[in-house]
Amino acid sequence: MALLEVKDLHARVEEKEILRGLNLTINPGEVHAIMGPNGSGKSTLSYVLAGKDDYEVTGGSATLEGEDLLELEPDERAAKGLFLAFQYPIEIPGVASMTFLRTAVNAVRKKRGEEELSTPDFLRLVREKAKELSINQDMLKRPVNVGFSGGEKKRNEILQMAMLEPKMCVLDETDSGLDIDALKIVADGVNRLRAKNRGFLVITHYQRLLDHIVPDVVHVMAKGRIVRTGGPELAHELEAKGYAGYENAA
């Protein structure tokens, strides 16, 4: 069974139709990349999948392991295993990153019918995962994303992803605002999470990220639809030729 299956999805934001019949199937273990020009609806797709308010689905379906995603609340989708790494992670003043992680992990575990992690187990797990992403303990004591650099924010997103053990990870322009070293740390973090029961949807403008996170399938999105699908070589072609030919094809 497909992990994520999106069929003929239509969605709009404030009367403006952005997704216009999008189809996408991701099987367990696969890494898909979506590339496309600004305004093609890539971020909208990630928000619609995650269930953000103001994004109204007007047609089509989206299922995770056969279960209707669109009927669920955002936190229920998270508990089912959908994770969205935000393009612009949100700041939460006064809430230590560690507290946030712990609250999130336990909330998800509770909804999945698992026991809460004990404090020592939790700390051990955080230390291990944080170390892999070069996140020091000091950063975990600071309020969530407040005063974080671009690289710190994105590494923090990947840390949350690693802690929550999702099945389907959507990365919305995780490469934006990263220098080369930070990009490599983040990409390595993602690659470590690749597993045969886990799928990834990597949204990006640039082929650069896909040199590090090598996708199985590359899609080109334009005007709310997927207009072309190919292998990793498609990303290189786009890098060379640009999106010009696709704006009209849609």
Partner 1 sequence: MTKRGDCRGNGSKISWTQVETGSAITWKYPSCILRGDNSQGEFYSIAISNGYQQVDSGTKMIHLGKNTSSRIISKGIAAGVSQNTYRGQVSAHRKATNARNFTNCDSLLIGDKCGAHTTPYIEAKNSSAVFEHEATTSKISDDMLFYCRQRGLDAEEAVALVVNGFVKDVLQHLPMEFAVEAQKLIAISLEGSVG
Q: Which residues bind partner 1 (CB under 8 A)?
A: 50-54, 73-75, 77-79, 83-84, 86, 89-90, 92-95, 99-100, 103-105, 107-108, 111, 143, 160, 164
- Tokens 């509770």 correspond to 110
**CB 216, min distance to partner 1, A:** 25
**CB 100, min distance to partner 1, A:** 7
SS3 79: helix
**CB 167, min distance to partner 1, A:** 13
CB-based contact 80:67 (threshold 8 Å) = yes
CB-based contact 98:39 (threshold 8 Å) = no
Q: Decide whether 23 or 176 has the Cβ nearer to partner 1.
A: 176
Q: Which two tokens stand for residue 166?
A: 């999702």
**CB 98, min distance to partner 1, A:** 13
**CB 154, min distance to partner 1, A:** 14
Instruction: Enter the DSSP assignment of 250.
Output: -
Q: Decide whether 40 or 97 has the Cβ nearer to partner 1.
A: 97
Q: Decide whether 202 or 210 has the Cβ nearer to partner 1.
A: 202
d(C-alpha 95, C-alpha 98), whole Å? 8
The amino acid at 140: L
d(C-alpha 93, C-alpha 139), whole Å? 14
Q: Decide whether 122 or 206 has the Cβ nearer to partner 1.
A: 122
* Dihedral, 208, 173, 88, 200 alpha carbons, nearest 10: -120
Q: Decide whether 13 or 104 has the Cβ nearer to partner 1.
A: 104
d(C-alpha 25, C-alpha 63), whole Å? 10
**CB 84, min distance to partner 1, A:** 5
Q: Decide whether 20 or 129 has the Cβ nearer to partner 1.
A: 129
Strands 199-204 and 168-172: parallel
